[in-house]
Chain A
Amino acid sequence: MEKLKRSLTGFLVPVLSILLAFVIGAIIMACLGANPFAAMAALFQGAFGTVASVGTTLNRASPLIFTALCACFAYKCGVFNLGGEGQFLIGATAAFCAVHLSGAKGIGGILLALLVGIAAGGLWGMIPGILKITRGLNEMIISIMLNYVATLFMGVIYTSWIRDANTPQTPSVDDTLKLSRVIPGMRFTWALIIALGVGLLLYYFLYWTSPGFKLRAVGLNMTASRFNGFPVNRYILMSFLISGAIAGLGGASDLLGTQFRLINGYGSGYGFDGVAMALIGQLHPIATIIVAIFFAALRVGATSMQVATGVPTSVSDIIQALVIVFSVAGMALTKLPEFEAFRLRVSGKKEKEGK
């Protein structure tokens, strides 16, 4: 019962935030002179209207799911990995270099790329972790800074080392390496299946195993975890490693599934989008996946909305931003003692009425 109540609050906050964001979005649309209902309908039609559009939405969601799970896992251990973008790009870059330089092809090449992506992302994620536990440096700043390093490193690759003739981009990966579509007619590839698999694995690990339990305890109270004999530093390092590895795997699979080459602007914003989605998903891996798909839908649908009703795509960006603002504020609200008192009063009344 108590558990149910808690997850209900956890569920209500994002849902109400989304509704509220849409109401405000509708007001903006009306101010722009468009019919908000028609615009909203176009938005959802664009994202989910046809089999093909669902496929496009899911495909757009794949990289977001990876970076969102990356942020989610680190948060669960009480550390802030804001370097999802850098880890994603390092994963993609390393995977590209590995298959390009080795010339590996086919399924072997795919496996090589994914493994190299995991390793590169994990190692990249470890850097802030190591600096935090050995030198006490702030992991947020280090991981953000490493985003720039990763982006610029990728830049060196596509502008100098492995440039495709005269254009600042790398050549495409070999056709035999490209991840195929799972269902013909829908654009999403096996990258999505990998992402969903990672999400399920994280859910199992965090909620059904003893190390996952301890990791959550470390995230909620490091001092008590230390007093109760958990190797806190080891857990922190592990969370950075795994969190980075998830993003790295995301980079590698997105490279083989959708992107195929390294190019200017690739991956920009994925890291912070991931952080926001993990927060809206209340740091629950499954909920985080749903939120990532929802955000992808808003992005895919925005174009249809613009075409159909003339409402600019930026309104969709505004709605996304509002969802983030409302749900973070909503979560802060539910932590207030006044809210708890209010909740008890309301539920107390209900119980009385029930009698």
Chain B
Amino acid sequence: MEEMLRMEHISKRFGSFYANKDVNLTVNRGEVLTILGENGAGKSTLMNILIGLYQPTEGKIFFKGKEERIDSPSQAVKLGIGMVHQHFMLVEAMTVFENIILGDKRSKGVFIDREARRREILELSERYGLDVELDKLITEIAVGAQQRVEILKALYHGAELLILDEPSAALTDIEAEGLFAIMHKLVDEGKSIIFISHKMREVLHISDRITILRAGEVVTTVKCSETDGQKLANLMIGRELSSSQYEKKQAGGQPVLKLDGVRYHEQSKHNGLAGITMEVRPGEIVGIAGVDGNGQTQLAQVITGVIAPEKGTLSLKGKQVSVFDPSDFIENNVSHVPEDRNLQGLVGDMSISDNLVLKATGSGRFSKGRGLLLRPKAIRSHALELAGEYDIRCTSVDQDVRSLSGGNQQKVILARELESGPELLVAVHPTRGLDIGATRFVHDQMIEARDKGVGILLISADFDEILEMSDRILVIFEGQIMGEYSGQNPPIQEISLAMTGK
């Protein structure tokens, strides 16, 4: 079989961190190679190297037998490597035709020979069954059609190796079937495809071979016909259960939070909820495990009142909620460590002390006469106290919170949210981007809150964090709960398979 691409000993280092280490992989002509790995396993870095956005620290790339240096995306296009990104790169206000010929270097002079280009595109679209309407605006066509435009665009620019990054993420089932048919046609015609996906069913359905990445390194490459979902999930997660340093608890009592059949934008699998039923009891940590973008954002926002579910009910402490507004949830002692701390949690241009009292300026402690006159001294001493207690490292509590490191910003949020006396804490990716010390601190604080009787919902794409912290584990996939597992000796293999939708 003819070899299309070979990557040899590719390493990419950022500072002291290896995003990719000694990666070897080959793609043959006319095959689909799937790259499988958890979030942060190094898939994106590897693909960015391949399309010239990053330069590898070490290693060689051979394309069609020749060693190549790919130092820019246009160089990659010139070689015949095309990528369809998960989030499409189309100009919405332009037509399909204009998007496809965008960046075309074949036109000589100022004018574009539209008729010739058109014929060429139509020929390609017929050959691969990529049916698109050339004169429609991008905004007027469906997501599936936009993807076909992206593929057509890559082919038009001469791609022989196509990289499809989670191509089915935005598609409906029927559209996904259409995509697989196109992929078959492409490899039949001698193109090669690198396919990136988390969905086991699709991976097994479409791949010829599968390369598994873990922590930046290739674990192994297997033939699709010689493996199954469980084997792949084990290889991908690849870990033994290390005993958690925290004691796991079983909680009883009336649930602080109860969701029953909650639905929100159900048709959008990756940004919707398709009937979630679950509960959180006081004094337990419920972990929501799952690959990013399976409805976690929406789940957190429903539970904190930022968005309202379309169907289903939500009860706090046994009382059904009818109005979805964050202030009502805050009044019901729901605390929120949001996904994006800078955008959603903090006011970056205000000081640490102001951010620590953000929700409480109307209280008698921080102002006289129901907020008519603030007490700056009380606000400041409160901040000094919390800065000590939560180890917020700063030169002064009057410093803008924007100037703090991510870990210290997260401590500001955590201090504010835990000091308000929550009964339910919703923490979304609470340690994302934090160093080990800060992570440990955040975890300790959450466990301490749990032991005081706070019900905690931990939503995280970091599987280790879920295993470490959770008393109960729920797996979310495409807006649905795939299963519930005990946090005490959790069945890792089963959970990791559930995370991929099986």
Q: Which residues of A are at the interface with B, using a C-beta cutoff of 8 A?
A: 1-3, 6, 207-211, 213-214, 216-217, 220-221, 223-231, 340
Contact = CB atoms under 8 A, between A and B. Distances in A.
Contact of B374 (A3, A208, A223, A231): A208
Interface stretch (B136-144, B230-238, B395-403, B467-475): B395-403
A226 B326 contact: yes
Interface in B1-24: none
Contacts of B345: 224, 227
B372 interface: yes
B349 interface: yes
B350 to A, nearest CB: 6
Interface string B207-234: 0000000000000000000000000000
Contact of A229 (B327, B346, B373, B398): B327
Contacts of A208: 373-374
Nearest to B301: A227
A208 B372 CA distance: 7
Contact of A210 (B305, B374, B396, B398): B374
Contacts of B395: 2
Most B CB atoms within 10 A — which of A1, A209, A229? A229
Contacts of A225: 347
Given A214-B361, A224-B345, A229-B326, A1 B367 contact: no
Contacts, number: 77
Contacts of A213: 354, 361, 374
Interface in B316-342: 325-330, 336, 338
B181 interface: no
B359 A229 contact: yes
Given A2-B395, A217-B358, 16 more contacts: A2-B396, A3-B398, A208-B374, A209-B373, A210-B371, A210-B372, A210-B374, A221-B348, A224-B343, A228-B326, A228-B359, A229-B305, A229-B326, A230-B327, A231-B327, A340-B403
A154 B328 CA distance: 46
Interface string B373-416: 11000000000000000000001101110010000000000000
Contact of A211 (B306, B348, B371): B371
Interface in B340-370: 343-351, 354, 358-359, 361-362, 366-367, 370
Nearest to A218: B347
A228 B330 CA distance: 8
A211 B367 CA distance: 11
B398 A209 contact: no
B304 interface: yes
A245 B436 CA distance: 53
B371 A220 contact: no
A87 B496 CA distance: 62
Contacts of A231: 327
Contacts of A2: 351, 395-396, 398-399
Contacts of B373: 208-209
A220 B400 CA distance: 12
Contacts of A230: 327
Most A CB atoms within 10 A — which of B345, B347, B372, B399? B347
B309 to A, nearest CB: 17
A217 B350 contact: yes
Contacts of B354: 213, 217
B416 to A, nearest CB: 9
B428 to A, nearest CB: 11
Nearest to B375: A208
B292 to A, nearest CB: 20
A6 B349 CA distance: 11
Nearest to B334: A229
A13 to B, nearest CB: 16
18 contacts: A2-B396, A2-B398, A2-B399, A3-B398, A208-B373, A209-B371, A210-B374, A211-B371, A217-B350, A217-B358, A221-B346, A223-B343, A224-B346, A229-B327, A229-B329, A229-B359, A230-B327, A231-B327
A161 to B, nearest CB: 44
Contacts of B351: 2-3
Nearest to A340: B403
Contacts of A1: 396, 398
Q: List 10 A-B pairs, minimum CB-CB distance, nearest first.
A: A210-B371, A229-B327, A210-B361, A2-B396, A229-B326, A2-B398, A210-B362, A229-B330, A227-B344, A221-B347
B488 to A, nearest CB: 33
A6 B350 CA distance: 12
A335 to B, nearest CB: 10
Nearest to A335: B349
B61 to A, nearest CB: 34
A54 to B, nearest CB: 34
Contact of B348 (A207, A210, A216, A220): A220
A322 B400 CA distance: 30
B361 A224 contact: no
Nearest to B359: A228
Contacts of B348: 220-221
A214 B346 CA distance: 13
Nearest to A217: B347
B175 to A, nearest CB: 30
Contacts of A224: 343-347
A227 B374 contact: no
Nearest to A344: B403
A220 B338 CA distance: 18
A6 B396 CA distance: 12
A213 B344 CA distance: 17
A227 B336 contact: yes
Contacts of B366: 210
A301 to B, nearest CB: 36
A208 B366 CA distance: 11
Nearest to A214: B361
A294 B374 CA distance: 31
Nearest to B336: A227
A227 B347 contact: no
A221 B358 contact: no
Contacts of A340: 403
Nearest to B372: A209
B367 A227 contact: no
Contacts of A3: 351, 398
Contacts of B398: 1-3
A87 B349 CA distance: 30
B68 to A, nearest CB: 36
A227 B346 CA distance: 10
B346 A226 contact: no
A207 B328 CA distance: 26
Nearest to A207: B374
Contacts of B344: 223-224, 227
A207 B348 CA distance: 17
A217 B348 CA distance: 9
A228 B366 CA distance: 17
A227 B304 contact: yes
Nearest to B363: A210
A219 to B, nearest CB: 9
